[in-house]
Structure 1
Amino acid sequence: MDRLKELFDFFDKNSDGYISKNELIELVEILLNEKGLGKSSQVLKEFDFNHDNKIDFNEFTAFAEMHLIH
């Protein structure tokens, strides 16, 4: 869990506790090796459970379990 928090904090560039749409673009590019708004929009739609247009740590954990942890 500590590594997930470190990874979350790495992408949370402004340290506001959320990964914004712009920060999510970089996350998708680096972690999923996909460029462009399409995939980041898809990730936001799938994992933004409270529909606030940003990813909090709990939502990021769900994303990581689906895409990063095998």
Structure 2
Amino acid sequence: MALQITLFPSAGFTVGYTAYHWALNGKSIAMFMHSWASICRSGEDSGLLPELTPVYDRTCIKDPLISKQLT
């Protein structure tokens, strides 16, 4: 993943990015950019909105192959 940040002389900035598909999928990069924008907008209070908070709990994913083996 590569990021490029361009600062404008009067105010503001823009962010450009590129990423290999094997490293990140579209949803991952979109959530990263939305999270970053949310943190920048909130200023001092840098907490993420619940819908932007990543979930690392893999037990919520049901694998049909494992379910068949257990029965």
With normalisation by structure 2, the TM-score equals: 0.27
Bigger helix fraction: 1
* Higher RCO, Cα 8 Å, sep 6+: 1
Determine which structure has more spread, i.e. the larger CA radius of gyration. Answer: 2
Bigger strand fraction: 2
With normalisation by structure 1, the TM-score equals: 0.28
